[in-house]
Structure 1
Amino acid sequence: MSKKNIVSIEDRIPKLKQARKKKANRRLIFYLSIFFLLIAVIVYLQSPLSHVKTVQVTGNTFVSEKEIIEQSKLLDDTNIWTIDKKEINQAIHKNPVIKSVSLDKKLPWTVEIKIKEYKKVGYIKKDDRYYPVLGNGQQLDSLEQKTLNGDAPLLLNFTDEKELQNMTNELKKLPQSILNIISEIHWVPTDENTKKIVLYMNDGFMVDGTIRDFAEKMEVYPSIVAQLKPDSKGIIHIGVGAYFESFDKKESSEEEIENETEG
């Protein structure tokens, strides 16, 4: 064996010592990093740095941001890590306008409250003032209006709270496009049909129907109108089957509608 390839143990010892020292230093730096990180976390958790500084509220229309924050009881000294989402959800959910609530933490100190309210489906008139009505039947007396803005129908003569609830339950199922073209809904109960209603539409038609299964039957309204002559005006009946009754008595009194709706 060539002498040039022989490395004496005296030459290897310094290199081994240097490698061990580097390894020990790396280990020390790792443990010190973990130690200081833990210290930083403890300081953060115990200091105002972990307190809620910003509360963002989204999705609210009828309920003010201030009211929702007050209901959540999220204060400046609330630790973001001790927030009970279930408790806050239940507190905000007590408001009858609120349909659902979700809460997200955005570190280091922001909380986002996402609100979903019940859909506005109509208005009730009281003493020359108009009050929004939601899909759960809730009337918003705090949001009175002097005039209507046409984004939901006016509900008239609904003196029975139960029938008003039934009507709003049906209206909330309607597509917004159909809800927007309903001007007025009158409750006109008879001995034969206590759920009878008459609608006045923004396009000039009237609709004769019933509260029961109203949403399902009313969804065919656009296709019914599309089958009529452009200058036709009259009453569209959507009871058992569907047919058109013209205001013009010179025309045939009733035009059967194709694809009749089922009862």
Structure 2
Amino acid sequence: MAKKKIVSIEDRIPRLKQERKKKANRRLIFYLSIFFVLISIIVYLQSPLSDVNTIKVKGNSYTEDEQIKQQSGISENTNIWMINEEEVVEAISKNPIIQSVDVSKNLPWTVEIAVSEYNYVGYIKKDGNYFPVLGNGSVLTDLKRNTTGGNAPVMMNFSNEKYVQKMAGQLTKLPDSILKLISEIHWKPTDENKNKILLYMNDGYLVDGTIRGFAEKMKAYPSIVSQIKPGTKGIVHIGVGAYFEKYNPADSNTGKKKNSNESE
């Protein structure tokens, strides 16, 4: 039977001291590391290193980048950690063109602002100028133009804001392919029907309809005109039922309308 090796207490004490010293050193290094990390964070937060260096704006077509940056209240002197995303969203959302906003921080010093804008669904003509109408019915009186560019119909005689908003709401529901076919929309209210409208189409037809339910009824327009004999002009009715009415010879000039984008 092998004899157990006996280690004297004198031999063990130096070894225990050495192990304790190593543990103490590791503990000191750990605490010093945390201390220096905290100091580095404080220095970073208090120095220009934490200031915004880049502001990226995306999703905008009608609003300039600089305008959105200015409305955000963020500048290159802004500490990225002091930015309140909700306040920035609220500030930019005051722009009537902006439909939604998303703000995100990309460390160490970049802020990204993603916006969604209301589309131009029409133009109001006044004093020879054209003012864009947004999908929410807002008329941008600060953005007057000499021409529409043909990207949306002109809304004529819409003197009542309520009906501007109702018409704009219907136009937002139209497919772009149909919206681009409309040259002018004339509001022609009567005592019996305040929603009555008359449309001049780019393909030469007139459309007699009403604002109420217009978008849904207008979707039938391509199908109706596809069944009309080429060269035949008349009025497409989309009120109660949908049908085509050919012009009478005496009314041959009824459908002739100068394009709204031409000078008058």
TM-score, normalised with respect to structure 1: 0.81
Cα RMSD after superposing both structures: 2.7
CA shift for structure 1 position 165? 1.8
Letter in 2 for 1:234: G
Paired residue for 2:121?
121
Residue 54 in structure 1 maps to residue 54 in structure 2: yes
Once structures 1 and 2 are overlaid, which stretch shifts more, 31-40 or 193-202?
Answer: 31-40
CA shift for structure 1 position 155? 0.8
Show CA shifts across 1:17-40 (max 9, x none). 887776665555444333322221
Once structures 1 and 2 are overlaid, which stretch shifts more, 89-98 or 201-210?
Answer: 89-98
Paired with 1:108 and 1:59, the residues of 2 have a C-alpha distance of: 23
Letter in 1 for 2:130: Y
Paired residue for 2:150?
150
Paired residue for 1:259?
none
Show CA shifts across 1:125-173 (max 9, x none). 2222222111122222232222221110011111222212211121122
Give the 3-state SS of the residue equivalent to 2:146 in structure 1. coil
Residue 188 in structure 1 maps to residue 188 in structure 2: yes
Matched residue count: 246
Paired with 1:164 and 1:64, the residues of 2 have a C-alpha distance of: 26
Residue 92 in structure 1 maps to residue 92 in structure 2: yes
Letter in 1 for 2:46: Q
The 5 Å alignment of 1:147-226 reads 147-226=147-226
TM-score, normalised with respect to structure 2: 0.81
Give the 3-state SS of the residue equivalent to 2:142 in structure 1. helix
CA separation of 1:36 and 1:230: change in aligned 2, threshold 3 A = farther
Paired residue for 1:131?
131
Give the 3-state SS of the residue equivalent to 1:142 in structure 2. coil
Letter in 2 for 1:37: V
Paired with 2:132 and 2:67, the residues of 1 have a C-alpha distance of: 19
Structure 1: runs of 5 or more not aligned: 250-263
Paired residue for 2:77?
77
Paired with 1:96 and 1:108, the residues of 2 have a C-alpha distance of: 32
Paired residue for 1:258?
none
Paired with 2:216 and 2:19, the residues of 1 have a C-alpha distance of: 80
Once structures 1 and 2 are overlaid, which stretch shifts more, 123-132 or 178-187?
Answer: 123-132
Paired residue for 1:68?
68
CA shift for structure 1 position 122? 0.6
Structure 2: runs of 5 or more not aligned: 250-264
The 5 Å alignment of 1:222-237 reads 222-237=222-237
Give the 3-state SS of the residue equivalent to 2:71 in structure 1. helix
Paired with 2:49 and 2:235, the residues of 1 have a C-alpha distance of: 66
CA separation of 1:21 and 1:205: change in aligned 2, threshold 3 A = farther
CA shift for structure 1 position 210? 0.3
Letter in 2 for 1:236: V
**Percentage identity across paired residues of the two chains:** 61
Letter in 2 for 1:147: T
Paired with 1:241 and 1:72, the residues of 2 have a C-alpha distance of: 50
CA separation of 1:18 and 1:227: change in aligned 2, threshold 3 A = farther
CA separation of 1:126 and 1:20: change in aligned 2, threshold 3 A = same
